[in-house]
């Protein structure tokens, strides 16, 4: 005779303060890394241009400057937490494109590690949002107060 064990229903309780701190740290480090990489691309402008030209991109100067400048601004917006989910998604795509240009299309261990780290850092922001320590949260609070003012 077999015993039937009752099904245990578990659920996850999330502390909002800890979640917000974790999302802030994720945003901070991902945004700081993006700003650092963008500034590196802008400071080593010639090598970034040569790599973009070697990969056969059209309008090399405009495209390379646009990629680096967009990565810089998206990193800053991530640091502030403004439109976080959209910025994290765009940062993920743009960061991978800039990584290809930065490494001149060469796939090595550093390139693969950097791509995995970008995906690991930006995926939670895409899926879960910024948390309470962000401009998105402040904007949502203002909208809710206006809507429920009565």
Cβ neighbours, 10 Å, residue 146: 8
pTM of the model: 0.81
Q: Are 105 and 6 in contact (CB under 8 A)?
A: no
Q: Domain segments of the chain: what residues?
A: 17-131
pLDDT digits (tens, 9 = 90+) for 30-81: 999 999 988 988 888 888 888 888 888 888 889 888 988 999 999 999 999 9
d(CA 96, CA 120): 12
Cβ neighbours, 10 Å, residue 106: 10
pLDDT number for residue 133 = 92
Helices 16-43 and 45-54, axial angle in degrees (round to 10)? 90
Phi (first) and psi of residue 13, to 5 degrees: -95, 125
d(CA 29, CA 88): 12
Residue bearing tokens 């993920």: 92
Three-state SS for 63-74 is HHHHHHHHHHHH
d(CA 7, CA 129): 32
Per the document, the length of the chain is 150
Residue bearing tokens 């990969």: 55
pLDDT number for residue 86 = 95
| Residue 110 confidence class, pLDDT cut points 50, 70, 90 | confident
Least confident of 82-91, 104-113, 137-146: 104-113
């Amino acid at each position: 005779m077999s015993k039937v064990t009752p099904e245990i229903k578990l659920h996850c309780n999330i502390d909002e303060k800890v979640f917000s701190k974790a999302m802030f740290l994720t945003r901070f480090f991902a945004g700081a890394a993006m700003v650092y990489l963008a500034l590196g691309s802008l400071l080593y402008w010639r090598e970034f241009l040569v790599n973009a030209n070697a990969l056969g991109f059209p309008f090399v100067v405009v495209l390379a400057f646009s990629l680096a400048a967009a990565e810089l601004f998206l990193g800053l917006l991530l640091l502030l937490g403004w439109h976080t989910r959209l910025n994290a998604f765009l940062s993920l795509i743009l960061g991978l494109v800039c990584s290809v240009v930065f490494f001149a299309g060469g796939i090595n261990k550093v390139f693969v590690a950097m791509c995995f780290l970008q995906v690991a850092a930006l995926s939670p922001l895409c899926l879960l949002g910024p948390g309470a320590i962000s401009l998105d949260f402040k904007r949502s609070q203002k909208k809710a107060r206006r809507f429920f003012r009565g």
